């Protein structure tokens, strides 16, 4: 134990960074963070594009929002936030509409001037026999929520591209993330607080671990026994570990592979100041192979003076099933996957001095604020007692 720190955190994403920060602040321990990637921040990592002056979100658009006061107060210790409010648009059949589905979308789509009550009545009529029910599959849930015409225009093909699965075979809870409003509010999130870190995600993350008791080793594989902070060596030495990778990888896929969705990006550069006119444009039609496009400059209008007005960069986003070696983004979460994850979770519970956490470690889809909240809870309830017990040994 003498040659090891008090805690090793596997993964430099938001869960790992939060745990490391809490451990040095509250327990005064020494922490080593390792990550197989060449940067901190996990999927929220960003970097500056020199040609355009845009902050590129390397793993797709990340927007911070929360109604959790504890999380909001915590993150504001390390960064301030811009007044950015996330709004999304969708292109369908050559026309651009506001999302999420709201009264503006409904009236534009039907070339109408419906009141909220009239719009609700129309949607219920178009839901047909599914009105007032609680369907279990996404296809029927979508029709029940917004009626067949709107569902088929904006949701059906988009979801089919995103999941490469017939929506009738997907669980209904996927679509429950999409709000539907019978007013003209087109703000995507309804949380109390929202914004982007003023000087970027990476600067925020660097401040979280700006402490001499925290050391970071990048490009380090936890399963590579040629390096000192590997699974076998740490287990034999009894070093406390926080593991934020996938549980099936931790157990060498002994029970089988958990299914994930991953995302590929195609970068397109344009010799113009602004190509989309917005940060995110969804493409709802089946004949467009990508689900959405992201124009990063438009996330930060407050930086216009430092941006290149003659060049812009857009990323097109393609979704597919992940293979081993791909970046896992979203758990597929079929009943079989949930059952398999529970078996892995049962194995994880038997691992002495190891806490599994984060989006990958718990096989859950988390927003950033949920990751931070779960990390604060995990530190208080599991990691602090683990550190205290090891200190007594």
* pLDDT given at position 102: 96
Give pTM, 2 decimals. 0.94
Residue 179 pLDDT class (50, 70, 90 cuts)? low
Residue of 6, 49, 317, 373 with catalytic role: 317
Position 175 pLDDT exceeds 80: no
- Whether the CB-CB separation of 361 and 15 falls below 8 Å is answered with yes
Distance CA 261, CA 321 (A): 5
The token pair at 192 is 């109390």
The token pair at 185 is 């509010």
Residue 220 pLDDT class (50, 70, 90 cuts)? very high
Q: Is residue 317 flagged as an active site residue?
A: yes
What is the mean predicted confidence (pLDDT) over 190-207? Answer: 97
* pLDDT given at position 393: 67
pLDDT in tens, 247-300: 999 999 999 999 999 999 999 999 999 999 999 999 999 999 999 999 999 999
β-sheet bridge partners, residue 91: 96, 283
Q: Is residue 249 flagged as an active site residue?
A: no
Residue of 225, 323, 365, 377 with catalytic role: 365
Half-sphere exposure (Cβ direction) of 213: Cα atoms closer than 13 Å: 15
Distance CA 115, CA 187 (A): 19
- Whether the CB-CB separation of 58 and 13 falls below 8 Å is answered with no
Distance CA 130, CA 349 (A): 42
Position 177 pLDDT exceeds 80: no
What is the mean predicted confidence (pLDDT) over 120-149? Answer: 91
pLDDT in tens, 341-350: 999 999 999 9
Q: Is residue 181 flagged as an active site residue?
A: yes
Q: Is residue 187 flagged as an active site residue?
A: no
* pLDDT given at position 168: 87
Per mean pLDDT, which range of 68-77, 134-143, 304-313 is the poorest? 134-143
Residue 322 pLDDT class (50, 70, 90 cuts)? very high
Residue 391 pLDDT class (50, 70, 90 cuts)? confident
* pLDDT given at position 172: 84
Position 103 pLDDT exceeds 50: yes
* pLDDT given at position 117: 97
Q: What is the mean pLDDT of the chain?
A: 95
CATH superfamily of 7-83+195-255+331-392: NAD(P)-binding Rossmann-like Domain (3.40.50.720)
Per mean pLDDT, which range of 72-76, 126-130, 163-167, 224-228 is the poorest? 163-167
Q: Is residue 77 flagged as an active site residue?
A: no
Percentage of the chain beyond pLDDT 70 is 98
Distance CA 317, CA 338 (A): 27
Residue 1 pLDDT class (50, 70, 90 cuts)? very low
Residue of 3, 50, 177, 305 with catalytic role: 177
Angstrom CA distances, 204 to 74, 152, 191, 350, stand at: 12, 40, 21, 35
Q: How crowded is residue 36: how many other Cβ atoms within 10 Å of its Cβ?
A: 15
Residue of 55, 261, 330, 379 with catalytic role: 261
pLDDT in tens, 323-369: 998 999 989 878 899 999 999 999 999 999 999 999 999 999 899 99
Q: Is residue 364 flagged as an active site residue?
A: no
- Whether the CB-CB separation of 263 and 292 falls below 8 Å is answered with no
Residue of 181, 243, 330, 373 with catalytic role: 181
Q: Is residue 148 flagged as an active site residue?
A: no
- Give the domain ranges of the chain: 7-83+195-255+331-392, 88-186
């Amino acid at each position: 134990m003498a040659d090891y720190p008090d805690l090793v955190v596997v993964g430099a994403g938001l869960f790992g960074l939060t745990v490391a920060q809490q451990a040095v602040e509250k327990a005064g321990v020494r922490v080593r963070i390792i990550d197989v990637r060449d940067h901190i921040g996990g999927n929220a990592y960003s970097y500056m594009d020199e040609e355009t002056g845009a902050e590129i979100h390397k793993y797709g658009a990340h927007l911070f929002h929360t109604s959790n006061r504890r999380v909001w107060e915590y993150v504001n210790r390390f960064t301030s936030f811009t007044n950015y409010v996330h709004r999304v648009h969708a292109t369908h059949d050559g026309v651009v509409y506001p999302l999420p589905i709201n009264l503006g979308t409904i009236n534009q789509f039907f070339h109408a001037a419906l009141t909220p009550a009239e719009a609700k009545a129309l949607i219920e009529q178009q839901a047909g026999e599914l009105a007032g029910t609680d369907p279990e599959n996404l296809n029927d849930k979508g029709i029940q929520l917004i009626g067949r015409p709107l569902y088929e225009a904006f949701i059906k093909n988009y979801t089919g591209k995103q999941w490469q699965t017939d929506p009738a075979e997907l669980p209904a809870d996927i679509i429950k993330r999409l709000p539907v409003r019978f007013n003209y509010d087109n703000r995507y999130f309804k949380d109390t607080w929202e914004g982007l870190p003023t000087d970027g995600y990476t600067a925020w993350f660097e401040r979280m671990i700006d402490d001499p008791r925290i050391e970071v080793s990048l490009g380090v594989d936890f399963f590579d026994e040629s390096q000192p902070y590997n699974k076998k060596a740490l287990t034999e030495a009894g070093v406390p570990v926080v593991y934020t990778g996938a549980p099936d990888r931790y157990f060498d896929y002994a029970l089988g592979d958990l299914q994930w969705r991953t995302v590929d990006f195609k970068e397109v550069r344009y010799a113009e100041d602004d190509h989309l006119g917005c940060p995110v444009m969804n493409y709802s039609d089946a004949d467009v192979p990508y689900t959405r496009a992201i124009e990063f400059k438009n996330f930060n209008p407050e930086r216009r003076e430092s941006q290149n007005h003659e060049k812009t960069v857009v990323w097109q986003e393609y979704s597919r099933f992940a293979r081993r070696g791909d970046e896992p983004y979203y758990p597929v979460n079929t009943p079989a996957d949930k059952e398999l994850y529970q078996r892995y979770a049962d194995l994880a519970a038997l691992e002495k001095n190891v806490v599994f956490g984060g989006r990958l470690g718990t096989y859950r889809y988390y927003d950033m604020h949920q990751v931070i909240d779960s990390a604060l809870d995990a530190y208080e309830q599991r990691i602090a007692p683990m550190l205290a017990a090891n200190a007594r040994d």
